[in-house]
Structure 1
Amino acid sequence: MSTETDKNDLIYMDVPAGRVVIRLRPDIAPLAAERIRTLSAEGFYDNVPFHRVIEGFMAQAGDPTGTGTGGSPLPDLKAEFTRDAKFLRGTLGMARTSDPNSANSQFFIMFEPSPHLDGQYTIVGEVIEGMENIDKIKRGGGASGMVREPDRIIKMRPASSETA
């Protein structure tokens, strides 16, 4: 990938600990990248909770209901799996149900590499700045990782629509 990133492919996400910069990957997931960009521009993710956070695994957000079952009013997306990209620390993946073509608005950010997800979930981007702020998100309990009083996304916007 080019070191020169198109500003249209950068997302600024403000969380309680500070700013996170995400680089979308339209080269491998054009539909999912466009969905994250569109919903961010609409303010869809503002005040949405990190409802499922599992230590050593990932932090999941994108469901305005905070239950893990909600999404946007837009139609679900076709899976965009790739064998070339890997789920590493900072990778942004699209959450889905058991149906591979059910990703909508929910996404997760990896705390640690998870090779068992490679080729099973759409990789839509990666954290390029502020991963230390993701590390500070409140963790959930039990095997489900559901968070009782979750941290929330304060604001999430495409870099092209605001200044850093």
Structure 2
Amino acid sequence: MFSFSWPALRYGVLLTAALGLGGCNQTPPPAETAAPAAPTPPPVPGPELTSLRDSNAVALLTEYGKAYPASEVIVHTRHGDLRVKLYDDTPIHKANFLLLARKGVFDQTVFNRVVNGFAIQGGRSDHRTIRLARYHIPPEIRAAHFHKRGALGMARYDDDQNPGKLSSNTDFYFVQGEKLTPYQAQAMAGRKLTPEQLKTYATVGGVPSLDGKYTVFGEVVEGLEVIDKIAAEPVDPYKWPKKDVDIKIEVVK
């Protein structure tokens, strides 16, 4: 049996009493109030994505491009950022890319086809929730824009299914390629290359076999090394990276 000395017992009683008195004198805490709801972000301007069709895409995108111009985007990935300049003389492709970027479509996609030494393709995902109609972009193939390393182009079905060379609305790619002698570059190209283009293929590299067949509507101005890092990702038999390379696109100016 345990016994307590008087001082200890008294101290304990006093301590208990003090705690009790303190509790009685405290002001009850104010009732918790619910945090204010976050404001709903304003709608992104531009045509509804589900309203775009082959029959109206050119008119709607032309109007959008004039009303909301921009010329530069940043593609954010876990391998780093690609700063991309968009060309003014491919206005339909440019407006379409800006519209989908601002609407958040590309932010729900990944680089879904990667071929090391050739190109990295993005714009698709198994998890995209933003709905948009299926439509195509008329070709805007310009002789001045070619498939040098870092070129941004829009994918499409081959000529057997798509003789008009209509571009996809969401599938884009960045060229990686390799350095080629002028003879090699001209032999691969589908059109006559200028001396400057031949020099670029020799010093920078690219894929001249795509020239004249796909629309190039921009180019990487910073972050070319990111293309190499993504291209080096291990892929499955369908060329899809085994670990997703998510895409976030920011329109900067």
Superposition TM-score tier, normalisation by shorter sequence: 0.7 to 0.9
User: For 2:112 and 2:73, how far apart are their aligned partners in 1?
Assistant: 20
Local SS of the residue matching 1:124: strand
How far is 1:139 from its partner? 4.5
Aligned to 1:149: 243
CA 1:45–1:116 in structure 2 vs 1: closer, same or farther (change >3 Å)?
same
Give matches, 1:1-164, under 5 Å.
8-27=70-89, 29-65=90-126, 72-73=132-133, 75-98=135-158, 99=162, 100-112=165-177, 113-137=206-230, 138-142=233-237, 144-153=238-247, 155-160=248-253
User: For 2:72 and 2:134, how far apart are their aligned partners in 1?
Assistant: 21
Query: Going by fraction, where is strand more abundant, 1 or 2?
Result: 1
- In the alignment, is the contact (CA less than 8 A) between 2:142 and 2:215 conserved in 1? yes
- In the alignment, is the contact (CA less than 8 A) between 1:26 and 1:34 conserved in 2? no
Higher radius of gyration, 1 or 2: 2
How far is 1:128 from its partner? 0.4
Aligned AA for 1:126? Answer: E
Aligned AA for 2:241? Answer: V
User: For 1:36 and 1:13, how far apart are their aligned partners in 2?
Assistant: 12
User: For 2:212 and 2:235, how far apart are their aligned partners in 1?
Assistant: 26
User: Structure 1 vs Structure 2: percent identity of aligned residues?
Assistant: 29
How far is 1:80 from its partner? 1.2
Local SS of the residue matching 1:150: coil
Task: Tell me the TM-score normalised to structure 2 length.
Answer: 0.54
User: For 1:63 and 1:11, how far apart are their aligned partners in 2?
Assistant: 18
Q: Higher relative contact order at CA 8 Å, sep ≥6: structure 1 or structure 2?
A: 1
In the TM superposition, structure 1's runs of 4+ consecutive aligned residues that sit over 6 Å from their partners are none
User: For 1:84 and 1:139, how far apart are their aligned partners in 2?
Assistant: 34
User: For 2:236 and 2:118, how far apart are their aligned partners in 1?
Assistant: 13
CA 1:79–1:45 in structure 2 vs 1: closer, same or farther (change >3 Å)?
same
Superposed CA RMSD = 2.0
Task: Tell me the TM-score normalised to structure 1 length.
Answer: 0.81
Equivalent residues, number: 147
